[in-house]
Amino acid sequence: MKLDDVRAIQYGDVLVEGERWPNSIHVIEHPDGRILVDTGMIDSTPELDEQWGIRFDPEKIPRDVVCVVNTHLHFDHCGGNRLFLGTPIHVQRVEREAAREPDYTIPAWVEFDGATYVEHDGEAEIAPRVRVLPTPGHTAGHQSVLVDTDDGLVVLAGDVGYTWKLFDASESGQLLMSLRPRRIWLAHQADPRDLR
């Protein structure tokens, strides 16, 4: 795998204090098959539309994947999980438990017939050169995905920070930086951070 085998797909955006923020999911073009990190949204609710002015395009979500990872289970990261009946979906156990609490997410977008979660308690290898690492803060069960490419470590850091400033100010952001990554992607920033 090369650096560019880990790609962002902007499937939509949300309105935050008058500004449009990109909503992205990510794919890893793995030799054993495509891995999807977060699943975006395929529908909405009047409440979410009202609060976030959400725009999304379900057609942008790739369907031909061998497995899925949820960085966490907020609505804009798990809304497309229902596309993947029977496909393994990797999540931290504490995150799935948290998603059962009121006002955390849209419960029906997480638990549905055919949902096939693979729960992890901490760090785990999910495919050769691909692992998940707990990066709590944004949520208790938030995890990042680490891809060991030929060009260096690529980190999919989800919502560790909405912005790079918030990322740098967080403990999990510091943890990820200590791994000396080559590139970091966030879910709500259009461009990655490249490091040498």
- Candidate ranges 61-69, 71-79, 103-111, 116-124; the one touching Zn ion (CB under 5 A): 71-79
38 sits near Zn ion (criterion: CB under 5 A): no
Torsion angles phi and psi, residue 10, rounded to 5 = -85, 110
Nearest to Zn ion of 135, 149 (CB atom): 135
159 sits near Zn ion (criterion: CB under 5 A): yes
C-alpha atoms less than 13 angstroms from C-alpha of 127 in its C-beta half-sphere = 24
Nearest to Zn ion of 127, 175 (CB atom): 175
| Measured CA angle at 5 (ends 141, 173), to 5 deg | 35
Beta strands in 31-99 (DSSP E): 33-37, 55-56, 67-69, 88-92
Radius of gyration of the chain, Cα coordinates, nearest whole angstrom: 15
Nearest to Zn ion of 79, 192 (CB atom): 79
Binding mask 101-140 for Zn ion (x = CB under 5 A): ----------------------------------------
Residue of closest CB approach to Zn ion: 74
Query: How many angstroms separate the Cα of 39 from the Cα of each of 43, 103, 174?
Result: 12, 20, 26
Whether residue 6 contacts residue 27, with contact meaning beta carbons closer than 8 Å, is answered with yes
Name which position in 30, 74, 183, 188 contacts Zn ion (CB under 5 A).
74
Nearest to Zn ion of 95, 159 (CB atom): 159
Contacting positions for Zn ion (CB under 5 A):
74, 159
